[in-house]
Structure 1
């Protein structure tokens, strides 16, 4: 039994080290540690503002929970025998890779060009690490829920954010990959 506990502890340390590594890479990329406005808030709910993607949580935190749901499901399909901590470490690595890519000039410019994030300047390190923690919460929640409950909550999050801000994970991916002008106009309220 001690061997299992040792492997689990090491696994959680690996997951934590990946989060620290993400923060270090984002810092080396020149990302601001916190919102350039100088404040730290638990929640920022205005999408079209200079504090969006800068604070601990925002409307896009729901999408990161859904990332966790998706990564858990994929881990059970692709790595069915892997221990939970190993699958989580892979999920953190994938989420971290996205956070690094999302904060690269090519993706920042793409967001500005084709999505409703007109003034987007990338995430603060605080927000990127928080996004990774929201993904982790989604992953761990999915590991404890029945699949249909996970799907239902994911759909509810998508519909709620669609209603609240005219954006969600589905539209975000669509607009990055294959932008639709009618969607962009609808999101802008035109």
Structure 2
């Protein structure tokens, strides 16, 4: 089943809306270092969340897995083409909403207080747009893969990020909602 043009355009429109809101929030378009890198792996760096991909890219791909599953379930009574289109639009909306919220002073300050991201200043716009792209990649990958493979890849991504940077989607959610000082100290010992 191919995604119909109207749903693709709606998802693109939601992405452009997110882009406009981020510009309206005065987010920097690119890293203030003046470059755009495909990968930046140093978490405790002013360039974290400023480029096209970083260790948190794994989390955004997992968002796509989760949003696909949620959308598939939520729109299960719709014909296949509508289910896919509605699910994609919902996924892009949710990811865009998170990118706007994540770059609000409230969440930036929460990251600084509750996690080891002491100097975190939010994402560049190019990073936020790439995050929506990575989520979309995860969404369509989940559509093509068996559920067991999708879950296995998500677990591997979580474990790799945990090993490499002492952070992942699970810890990110935990530390934003219910910070644990021992985890914060362990994460900061990198």
Fold match by TM threshold 0.5: yes
Which residue of the partner structure matches residue 99 of structure 1? 99
| Alignment of 1:21 onto 2:17 | yes
1:33 pairs with one of 29, 32, 37? 29
Deviation at 1:91, TM superposition (A): 0.5
Matches within 5 A, 1:68-79: 68-79=64-75
- Partners of 1:10 and 1:79 lie apart in 2 by 17
| Alignment of 1:60 onto 2:56 | yes
Contact 2:71 2:83 in 1 (8 A): no
- Partners of 1:74 and 1:9 lie apart in 2 by 22
Contact 2:72 2:84 in 1 (8 A): no
Deviation at 1:40, TM superposition (A): 0.6
Which residue of the partner structure matches residue 130 of structure 1? 130
Runs of 4 or more consecutive aligned structure 1 residues displaced over 3 Å after TM superposition: none
Unaligned runs of 5+ in 1: none
Q: For this pair of structures, how many residues does the alignment match?
A: 186
- Partners of 1:84 and 1:163 lie apart in 2 by 34
Deviation at 1:85, TM superposition (A): 2.1
Paired residue secondary structure (2:99) = helix
Which residue of the partner structure matches residue 43 of structure 1? 39
Unaligned runs of 5+ in 2: none
- Partners of 1:43 and 1:20 lie apart in 2 by 23
Contact 2:61 2:136 in 1 (8 A): yes
Contact 2:114 2:175 in 1 (8 A): yes
**TM-score normalised to structure 1 length:** 0.95
